[in-house]
A and B are shown apart, each in its own frame.
Chain A
């Protein structure tokens, strides 16, 4: 009895500890990412970006966060109150749980699940339910249109996202992220699976609702899409969720394709972070370069381009692996 009691206590404490660390990291990271995004976009657009609060405007995001926290939370009169309240949490929470499986180094991972990144993808899908009910409960036409687009987009892009990783799974022979990263000690998967990498980045962008796939919130068409009616901290949660999702996608991408913690001189976690931020930079760079796709074109891209190419990639990988075994 005492043993299980201890075990439960132990587990609870671990969860709280990890939870606190993750939430802290997520908040600080999101602040940094927002600042980085502003700076990167500003440099691309011949601007300076935030300058005045802190060094190079580094504290600007904190000022904005304080502003958002202090703002009034508006309830639209016709909204479905409970669901309206639930939606931002539903968007944000699943993204947080994805941190469980990111391997910072060989042994430094919260839970090394054997279903690996499938777990993340299935969890992040819950946040789409959050987006959908956010648009639905707002009882606003723009928000509804945005959420409708979000659902369609999500369904289409799950497939190429998973298909693009299947080649790696086949090569590494495991779904466990630690195994996949450990497999890359000789060469990174980006060398052998470059088309898959491109498909992964594209699909991850779409999953994270980032431009050029930001059609659920397309600000020039749908005002703000699914979060049109949200204000204050609720809006900030959507924002936080989006940035964390980018970070998670990039971290998984770095683990899958860029060899995770592998790298000379520096310790593993630093390498992972560096690679993740490199991917985040690419994501931002893409955002500030291209115009937005239309929703039907988005579907066409998924079904007519990404999925066939991903399938083809799996086929080629399978053949190669088979012959490799045959020859050896």
Chain B
């Protein structure tokens, strides 16, 4: 019998071949990762190649600033049941100053690493050797600061603000586009800056399009216009005060981001919330998911020129928001969850309101199906467009409905179960085409599934406390990763705690960041009208990308 090439377990492979300097096994339930390993700098490319060949996607790259060296942290995860592993390399700080540190780039292996490495360069000043066009991504290109370094004082004082304004002004005056290498000026080709002020870029996104007539030859998203630096903001305040930040990352689907942070701190503190809390959380999150998808659907159809469905979607969304408002007191940027509980108990009239909403919304979904999904113009505008292959989805680390539209049933609610999701019966809708239409259908189906979840738990909410009593004062020292399925994909929070009142480092792995990155490979060959459709179908929220 000819032995086929059996892939060894990645852990064994690491231990045998790479021989990491440090290795420790962790618990997925507690720390959010299976194991972490510190490997030498020169081996990281080899490790990444092995991970890629075993079908792992790059969830995030980030860095942590310790006083004498920077630690660069890679999170790899797999489609299907979560098998997150954390690989670290050390980048010692340069004594002479510039560059602050250097590390090898893995952009040739993972396309997603491109933006992640640019972000680290931006925030920490780490120069990645071998990166094709290392430049700032979130901050303006003229800025000189690396804000996530601990030596950078968090709160800008008066002079710093002035300096910043001055830099921004200079940036605007001496603005010069540096095109990526792939874009070359040719005769009768031209460039179009779609955005940052454009009706259909869903916020302040600039798409740099290289066009031949109306056909896109190359596209590059330029982000960072609504950058507020949530990560630094959270470093300089205590754990409790971080709550509002999570309502303002993805303001459309804020509840799942609340969920992520609640899970993270509860994991770290070892707090188990009361059962009523779990039910309330799932209920509000799923309602919020419906609201978020409805907003997406409305604006997506608006992008395609269908004005009327936009209003129908917003009508439905208002109903959801009315229900959520009764519980949370807010309509958009929810700060509803608390450590071990929720801010406020749900009111009595919420249950009948939801029961009234479910059949009405099902009726509406049927109308959308007739009005939009089966419409011949809509089908022609969306089918076979903006293809996202499985290979690209893996290379870019695409998650969420965009990935499920490409035929991979990855949903952290099932793959890395949290809260009461394991007890619930729901499907993960997938489509195999990987085009705009399948992403649309997946989201519409997801609304139905959310409705199913709500219908299941609405009658079963147990009585009890909506807050757990005593909480530990501090988060224990250590590293934690929590991940939830947000409306747009898997949202991860990586926390490095030093045991003090403030988080030492919080890294937000936002799904839209990777999903938007993947658009680079979807756009070439499209027309301008398709650019809008493809961009709309990725369902991005800019504040979440820019953080």
The answer to A–B direct touch (Cβ < 8 A) is: yes
Q: Is B164 an interface residue (CB 8 A)?
A: no
Quick check: A221 and B302 within 8 Å, CB to CB? Answer: no
Interface code B304-329, partner A: CB below 8 Å = 1, 0 otherwise? 11111011100100000000000000
Interface code A201-237, partner B: CB below 8 Å = 1, 0 otherwise? 0000000000110110011111100000000000000
Chain A nearest CB from B333 CB (Å) reads 26
In the complex, which of the residues B306, B311, B372, B380 contacts A297, with contact meaning CB atoms closer than 8 Å?
B380
Quick check: B312 and A46 within 8 Å, CB to CB? Answer: yes
Please indicate the chain A residues that have their CB under 8 angstroms from the CB of B315 in the complex.
46
Quick check: A293 and B381 within 8 Å, CB to CB? Answer: yes
Chain B nearest CB from A217 CB (Å) reads 11
In the complex, which of the residues A46, A142, A214, A296 contacts B305, with contact meaning CB atoms closer than 8 Å?
A214
Within 8 A of A (CB), among B183-230: 190, 192, 198-200, 213-214
Quick check: B529 and A215 within 8 Å, CB to CB? Answer: yes
The contact size tier of chain B is 20 to 34
Quick check: B199 and A294 within 8 Å, CB to CB? Answer: no
Quick check: A291 and B304 within 8 Å, CB to CB? Answer: yes
Please indicate the chain B residues that have their CB under 8 angstroms from the CB of A46 in the complex.
311-312, 315
Quick check: B311 and A218 within 8 Å, CB to CB? Answer: no
Could you tell me the distance between the alpha carbons of A289 and B308 in the complex, rounded to whole angstroms?
Answer: 6
> Which residue on B lies nearest to A214, using beta carbons?
B305
Q: Is A141 an interface residue (CB 8 A)?
A: yes
Q: Is A45 an interface residue (CB 8 A)?
A: yes
Q: Is A139 an interface residue (CB 8 A)?
A: no
Quick check: A141 and B305 within 8 Å, CB to CB? Answer: no
Q: Is B250 an interface residue (CB 8 A)?
A: no
In the complex, which of the residues B198, B302, B375, B381 contacts A294, with contact meaning CB atoms closer than 8 Å?
B381
**What DSSP secondary structure best describes chain A's contact surface?**
loop
Asked, given contacts A290-B377, A291-B301, A293-B381, whether A41 binds B528 with beta carbons under 8 Å apart, the answer is: no
Quick check: B306 and A292 within 8 Å, CB to CB? Answer: yes
Within 8 A of A (CB), among B505-539: 527-532
Q: Is B378 an interface residue (CB 8 A)?
A: yes
Asked, given contacts A45-B308, A220-B302, A291-B305, whether A297 binds B199 with beta carbons under 8 Å apart, the answer is: no
Quick check: A47 and B311 within 8 Å, CB to CB? Answer: yes
Please indicate the chain B residues that have their CB under 8 angstroms from the CB of A214 in the complex.
305
Could you tell me the distance between the alpha carbons of A215 and B375 in the complex, rounded to whole angstroms?
Answer: 18
Q: Is A44 an interface residue (CB 8 A)?
A: yes
**What DSSP secondary structure best describes chain B's contact surface?**
helix
Please indicate the chain A residues that have their CB under 8 angstroms from the CB of B302 in the complex.
220
> Which residue on A lies nearest to B306, using beta carbons?
A291
Please indicate the chain B residues that have their CB under 8 angstroms from the CB of A294 in the complex.
380-381, 527, 529-530
Q: Is B303 an interface residue (CB 8 A)?
A: yes
Could you tell me the distance between the alpha carbons of A222 and B305 in the complex, rounded to whole angstroms?
Answer: 12
Please indicate the chain A residues that have their CB under 8 angstroms from the CB of B306 in the complex.
289-292
Q: Count the A-B residue pairs with Cβ separation under 8 angstroms: how many?
A: 84
Q: Is A288 an interface residue (CB 8 A)?
A: yes
Could you tell me the distance between the alpha carbons of A46 and B214 in the complex, rounded to whole angstroms?
Answer: 36
Asked, given contacts A220-B200, A223-B199, A297-B380, whether A212 binds B190 with beta carbons under 8 Å apart, the answer is: no
Within 8 A of B (CB), among A106-160: 141-142, 145, 148-149
Asked, given contacts A46-B312, A218-B305, whether A291 binds B528 with beta carbons under 8 Å apart, the answer is: no
Could you tell me the distance between the alpha carbons of A276 and B312 in the complex, rounded to whole angstroms?
Answer: 29
Chain A nearest CB from B528 CB (Å) reads 6
Could you tell me the distance between the alpha carbons of A212 and B376 in the complex, rounded to whole angstroms?
Answer: 12
Interface code B374-393, partner A: CB below 8 Å = 1, 0 otherwise? 01011011000000000000
Asked, given contacts A223-B199, A290-B377, whether A145 binds B214 with beta carbons under 8 Å apart, the answer is: yes
Quick check: A211 and B528 within 8 Å, CB to CB? Answer: no
Q: Is A29 an interface residue (CB 8 A)?
A: no
Which residue, A44, A142, A149, A291, has most C-beta atoms of chain B within 10 A?
A291
Q: Is A295 an interface residue (CB 8 A)?
A: yes
Within 8 A of B (CB), among A214-267: 214-215, 218-223
Please indicate the chain B residues that have their CB under 8 angstroms from the CB of A218 in the complex.
305, 529
In the complex, which of the residues A45, A223, A296 contacts B307, with contact meaning CB atoms closer than 8 Å?
A45
Could you tell me the distance between the alpha carbons of A296 and B312 in the complex, rounded to whole angstroms?
Answer: 29
Please indicate the chain B residues that have their CB under 8 angstroms from the CB of A223 in the complex.
198-199
Chain A nearest CB from B1 CB (Å) reads 55
In the complex, which of the residues A47, A222, A290, A297 contacts B528, with contact meaning CB atoms closer than 8 Å?
A222
Could you tell me the distance between the alpha carbons of A220 and B527 in the complex, rounded to whole angstroms?
Answer: 14
Chain A nearest CB from B329 CB (Å) reads 26
Asked, given contacts A290-B375, A291-B378, A295-B529, whether A211 binds B311 with beta carbons under 8 Å apart, the answer is: no
Asked, given contacts A220-B200, A295-B527, A297-B380, whether A212 binds B305 with beta carbons under 8 Å apart, the answer is: yes
Please indicate the chain A residues that have their CB under 8 angstroms from the CB of B310 in the complex.
45
> 19 A-B Cβ contacts within 8 A?
A45-B307, A45-B310, A46-B311, A141-B192, A149-B214, A214-B305, A220-B303, A220-B305, A220-B532, A221-B200, A221-B528, A289-B306, A290-B305, A290-B306, A291-B377, A291-B381, A292-B306, A292-B529, A295-B529
B binding-site residues for A, Cβ under 8 Å: 190, 192, 198-200, 213-214, 301-308, 310-312, 315, 371-372, 375, 377-378, 380-381, 527-532
Known pairs A141-B192, A289-B306; list 20 more (Cβ under 8 Å): A45-B308, A46-B311, A149-B214, A211-B305, A212-B377, A214-B305, A215-B529, A218-B529, A219-B199, A220-B304, A222-B528, A223-B198, A290-B305, A291-B301, A291-B377, A292-B529, A294-B527, A295-B214, A295-B529, A297-B380
Closest 3 CB pairs of A and B: A292-B305, A291-B306, A45-B311
